[in-house]
Structure 1
Amino acid sequence: MSTLPPTPPGFDHPEDASVSRSGYLRKPQILSRECVAQSRLFKVESLALRFSNGEERQFERLTGADRGAVMIVAMPDPDHVLLIREYAAGFEDYVLTLPKGLVDPGEDIITAANRELMEECGFGAHCIEPLVELSLAPNYMRHRMQVLLATDLYPKRLPGDEPEPLIVETHAIEELPMLLLREDFHEARAIAALYIARDRMREEKRNNATDFI
């Protein structure tokens, strides 16, 4: 005889959690969707949802062109990373972050990452590999960003669309705790990307050391 999965903490009955027999929550039904506002870059969409327990809610989310985006952890050597200082209109101030940008039509993420690196940092990379995919505020948008690790850099600059020249800084990747103390370094995606890249480089160093034993 089949049984429902264990009741999640905080629920008196399994059916209260809207859990299917496969153990997953049932997705709500989209009753309607409507564009309530639109700008050059964003569209605000209103969703009417009915959850599997019968509750109905109105949600709003930001949607865009869904072209995809890349963020690049560029390392001129195994111990250092390139960061850029650019104006963030949302905070009305300059922030320290990683180079990033949209994927242009016809590009894959590797090509897009190399182009953005050339435009924003003045370097290309002979080696670019995907690290992780990150989301941002998933309750309000479905934006995803591909994080890539770029190594074996070489000087090359392409013209970009930045309104002013970006300042490029080199930081030791092992000094992340010190970076987090700075008031101008707080973008969550950049922080996550750097920690993931740091762990990848540590693992490679351990593997290389083992090869010499």
Structure 2
Amino acid sequence: MPTKPEILKVTPVSESRLFQVEALDLRFSNGVERRFERLALRGHGAVMVVALDADNNIQLIREYAAGLHDYVLTLPKGLIDAGETPLEAANRELQEEVGFGARQMVLLKNLSSAPNYMGHSMNVILARDLYPSKLEGDEPEPLERVPWPFDNIEELIVRDDFSEGRAIAALYLARHWLSQESETADA
């Protein structure tokens, strides 16, 4: 395994309400020095929830995505607040965004997004045994809840309005976990 480069200096480059860009001056084990830029790691991480109801429907939301300047279908997601575990944050986000809580939650995997440019990560949570429960969220407008049959995820992932890579990965992680659970139960 290669030796990590030495961080010589970290310099803030730019900052907004949500993001901070920083420059990293690095020295690699072969002596080469380079400057990299990255979005600084802030906050406590984030969660994305694959919530399955009793009829085996995924609970999707339709929300405005500023990066695309369009409405998209995606999975409920949000930031982990200080003092929350990923499972607590997932249950809160689920209640805020789709109006359900979950009695059973499993952390499937922590995913990175563009790790060459940022250290942000997303905890993918499988939520089942849903019950009605609504919390007030921070969205600027009501989100549309869109149930989708879990058995039809192949149709979902080719839709133009369902394009977030982390959501697609989350569905495949959930499907894999559920198939392993089923095989174990059948054994």
TM tier relative to shorter chain: over 0.9
Match of 1:168 among 131, 145, 163: 145
Q: How many angstroms does 1:87 deviate by?
A: 0.5
Cα distance in 2 for partners of 1:141, 1:84 equals 26
Q: Which residue does the alignment assign to 1:140?
A: 117
Cα distance in 1 for partners of 2:43, 2:92 equals 19
Q: Which residue does the alignment assign to 2:83?
A: 106
Matched, 1:82 2:59: yes
Deviations 1:90-141 (A, max 9, x none): 0000111110111111111111111100000000001111111000000110
Looking at secondary structure, tell me which structure has more strand per residue: 2
Matched, 1:127 2:104: yes
Give the unaligned 5+ runs of structure 1.
1-23
Q: Secondary structure at the match of 1:110?
A: helix
Q: Which residue does the alignment assign to 1:16?
A: none
- Number of residue pairs aligned between Structure 1 and Structure 2: 187
Matched, 1:47 2:21: no
Identical aligned pairs, as a percentage? 55
Match of 1:202 among 174, 179, 185: 179
Cα distance in 1 for partners of 2:42, 2:24 equals 18
Letter aligned with residue 15 of structure 2:
Q
Q: Secondary structure at the match of 2:152?
A: helix
Match of 1:180 among 132, 150, 157: 157
Highest CA radius of gyration, 1 or 2?
1
Give the unaligned 5+ runs of structure 2.
none
Cα distance in 1 for partners of 2:55, 2:171 equals 13
CA RMSD across the alignment: 1.3
Cα distance in 1 for partners of 2:168, 2:91 equals 20
Letter aligned with residue 129 of structure 2:
D
Query: What are the residue-to-residue correspondences of 1:9-20 with 2, within 5 Å?
Result: none
Deviations 1:40-99 (A, max 9, x none): 111110011111112111100001423111111100037321111110000000111110
Matched, 1:156 2:133: yes
Q: Secondary structure at the match of 1:140?
A: coil
Residues 207 and 77 (structure 1), Cα distance of their counterparts in 2 relative to 1, 3 Å cut: farther
TM-score for the superposition, normalised by structure 2: 0.95
Residues 206 and 49 (structure 1), Cα distance of their counterparts in 2 relative to 1, 3 Å cut: same
Matched, 1:65 2:42: yes
TM-score for the superposition, normalised by structure 1: 0.84
Q: Secondary structure at the match of 2:92?
A: helix
